């Protein structure tokens, strides 16, 4: 399956440059392009992509605030004519920062980063007649089997995740968005931009928080209605 890409830039020439580059790479597919971030946000309400190439200086909604508005952002590549924004975007966990005019060799380096990140996110997911489990890479060589019915909570740590189970804690290289999408939705729920939890491990719900094994976790404002509906059936 090809890597799905989206371009958001108010400069048609800049869009065409990235579009032409992507057309030369077999593993990547351009899903759509938009001239402003508002149109991009509307598109993402009903569609998902693997990567967004986004400019910073755009009318109405700039690229930085666009990224901040995404609850579960995919991989982000900044494309900008201004180097000085690079430090500011570092805290946004962008995968790369490309300075215009973008040369093809530099663009290929960004695509290699995308491939490496998505490769690290891969896990082996197994469905048996007895118990569901998956294998996750916990270091460069070791793959660890984790039973889904032992998972308590998955916590985002920027480029990594901490998976807390009834038997231990494990750190893997992945995003919460990608890992959550691998889990059965009937058993797990995203409660915050930083947390996904096992529904059957929730011991209590109080206000805007849940409790698992004596620890409280805040429910994000944009998640609270869905969380309470699925957990409390209200």
Q: Which helix (H) or strand (E) holds 52?
A: strand 51-54
Look at 9-23, 64-78, 125-139 and tell me which has the smallest mean pLDDT: 125-139
Q: Which helix (H) or strand (E) holds 181?
A: helix 176-182
Summarised one tens digit per residue, pLDDT across range 58-79 is 989 999 999 989 877 889 999 9
* CATH for the stretch 3-120: 3.40.50.2300
Look at 91-95, 194-198, 222-226 and tell me which has the smallest mean pLDDT: 91-95
pLDDT of residue 88: 66
Handedness of CA 173, 156, 148, 180 (dihedral sign): negative
pLDDT of residue 36: 95
Q: Where are the domains of the chain?
A: 3-120, 124-232
Q: What is the mean pLDDT of residues 1-25?
A: 94
Asked if pLDDT for residue 234 goes beyond 70, the answer is: no
Q: For the whole prediction, is pTM greater than 0.75?
A: no
CA dist., res. 76 & res. 93, Å (int): 8
Asked if pLDDT for residue 215 goes beyond 80, the answer is: yes
Q: What percent of the chain has pLDDT over 90?
A: 53
Task: Specify whether the CB–CB gap between 28 and 53 falls below 8 A.
Answer: no
Q: What is the mean pLDDT of residues 2-9?
A: 95
CATH 3.40.50.300, applies to 124-232: no
Summarised one tens digit per residue, pLDDT across range 75-126 is 999 999 988 777 666 667 788 999 999 999 999 999 998 988 877 665 555 5
Closest CA to 190 of 218, 213, 216: 218
Q: What is the mean pLDDT of residues 184-192?
A: 90
């Amino acid at each position: 399956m090809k890597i799905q890409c989206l371009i958001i830039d108010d400069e048609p020439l800049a869009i065409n440059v990235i579009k032409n580059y992507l057309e030369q790479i077999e593993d990547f597919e351009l899903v759509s392009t938009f001239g402003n971030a508002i149109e991009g946000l509307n598109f993402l309400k009903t569609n998902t992509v693997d990567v967004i190439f986004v400019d910073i200086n755009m009318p109405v909604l700039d690229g930085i605030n666009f990224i901040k508005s995404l609850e579960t952002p995919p991989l982000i590549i900044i494309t900008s004519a201004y180097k000085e924004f690079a430090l500011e975007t570092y805290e946004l966990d962008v995968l790369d920062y490309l300075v215009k005019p973008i040369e093809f060799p530099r663009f290929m380096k960004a695509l290699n980063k995308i491939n490496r990140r998505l490769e690290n996110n891969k896990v082996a997911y197994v469905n048996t007649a007895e118990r569901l489990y998956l294998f996750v890479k916990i270091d460069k060589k070791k793959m660890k089997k984790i039973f889904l019915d032992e998972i308590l909570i998955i916590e985002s740590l920027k480029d990594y995740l901490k998976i807390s189970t009834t038997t231990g804690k494990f750190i893997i290289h992945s995003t919460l968005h990608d890992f959550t999408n691998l889990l059965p939705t009937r058993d797990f729920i995203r409660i915050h931009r930083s947390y996904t939890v096992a529904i059957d491990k929730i011991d209590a719900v109080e206000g805007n928080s849940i409790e698992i094994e004596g620890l409280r976790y805040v429910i994000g404002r944009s998640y609270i209605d869905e969380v309470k509906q699925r957990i409390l059936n209200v």
